[in-house]
């Protein structure tokens, strides 16, 4: 059982992150500062540095938490659909991405928008575990579709050398049977899932579409049909 001091520290840390996300939503990345959060909470600057030594530490934690929340939601949506329905799992994953992004636009911009000015991420990136889960999940969807999709794709002479070496190593370790063209397909699927979402989150889609949810669903249906599913 956690001590009262430990529980209080966790609560304060969560409050710091909640305020940081509110400031992010209201004023963008430049609005997030430890001193500003301390003032908002009625804390001294010295006290808040006991939780996060630098603003970069706080931003790193936020990115990791946000990315993890996104991956939790898309994995849950995928796993609610039978593995015998690869098309349904792809659609569920894509629509969960959109649902989360529309509900959390500031968080979406934090992990998929412009870099936070002055932010120096730690070696390996701020959300390695969540990024690997997202990568594994998306490539897993591709692997399940590949027996149907291969004959429907323009493959060309795709080679492993066209992709990041660390990404290739991870994919080949988890999905040794997949060819490089399948990794290319996974990245293109990612692009189709995120393209309309980014346009909507950044305010470029709503004036043109009165029903962006229907537009996105149609795009997901077209995606799985293009895979021969």
Query: CA 219 to CA 205: how far, in whole Å?
Result: 14
pLDDT (tens, 9 = 90+) of the chain, 229 residues, equals 778 888 888 999 999 999 999 998 888 888 888 988 999 898 888 889 999 999 999 999 999 999 999 999 999 999 999 999 999 999 999 999 999 999 999 999 999 987 888 888 898 888 899 999 999 999 999 999 999 998 887 767 899 999 999 999 999 999 999 999 999 999 999 999 999 999 999 999 988 999 999 999 999 999 999 999 9
Q: What is the CATH number of the domain that holds 183?
A: 1.10.357.10
Residues 94 and 125 in one domain: yes
Please list, in sequence order, all residues whose beta carbon lies within 8 angstroms of the beta carbon of residue 9, skipping any fewer than 6 positions away: 51
Residues 5 and 18 both lie in one domain: yes
pLDDT for the residue 170 = 95
d(CA 143, CA 89): 12
Q: Which helix (H) or strand (E) holds 118?
A: none
Q: Are 19 and 76 found together in one domain?
A: no
Co-location of 35 and 67 in the same domain: no
Q: Contact 148/229 with Cβ under 8 angstroms?
A: yes
Based on the domain organization, do 13 and 83 belong to the same domain? no
CATH classification of the domain holding 41:
1.10.10
| Tokens, residue 164 | 């990041």
Considering the domain architecture, whether residues 19 and 86 belong to the same structural domain is answered as: no
Query: What pLDDT does 28 receive?
Result: 83
Same domain, 32 and 63: no
Residues whose CB is less than 8 angstroms from the CB of residue 203 and which lie 6 or more positions away in sequence, other chains included: none
Number of domains composing the chain: 2
Residue 156, pLDDT score:
72
Same domain, 62 and 175: yes
pLDDT digits (tens, 9 = 90+) for 111-148: 998 788 888 889 888 889 999 999 999 999 999 999 99
Do 161 and 105 reside in the same domain of the chain?
Answer: yes
Range of the domain at 47: 1-53
* Residue 38 sits in the same domain as residue 144: no
Q: Are 97 and 74 in contact (CB under 8 A)?
A: yes
């Amino acid at each position: 059982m956690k001590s009262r001091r430990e529980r209080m520290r966790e609560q304060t840390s969560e409050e710091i992150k909640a305020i940081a996300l509110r400031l992010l939503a209201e004023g963008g990345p430049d609005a997030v500062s430890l001193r500003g959060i301390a003032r908002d909470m009625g804390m001294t600057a010295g006290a808040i540095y006991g939780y996060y030594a630098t603003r970069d530490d706080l931003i790193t934690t936020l990115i990791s938490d946000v990315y993890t929340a996104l991956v939790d939601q898309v994995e849950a949506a995928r796993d609610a659909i039978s593995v015998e329905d690869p098309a349904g799992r792809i659609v569920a994953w894509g629509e969960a991405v959109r649902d989360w992004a529309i509900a959390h636009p500031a968080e979406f911009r934090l992990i998929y928008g412009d870099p936070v000015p002055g932010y120096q991420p730690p070696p390996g990136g701020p959300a390695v575990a969540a990024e690997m889960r997202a990568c594994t999940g998306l490539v897993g969807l591709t692997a399940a579709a590949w027996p149907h999709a291969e004959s429907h794709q323009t493959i060309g002479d795709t080679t492993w050398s066209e992709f990041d070496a660390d990404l290739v190593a991870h994919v080949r370790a988890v999905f040794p049977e997949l060819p490089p063209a399948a990794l290319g397909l996974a990245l293109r699927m990612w692009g189709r899932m995120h393209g309309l979402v980014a346009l909507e989150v950044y305010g470029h889609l709503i004036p043109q579409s009165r029903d962006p949810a229907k537009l996105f669903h149609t795009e997901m249906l077209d995606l799985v049909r293009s895979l021969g599913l």
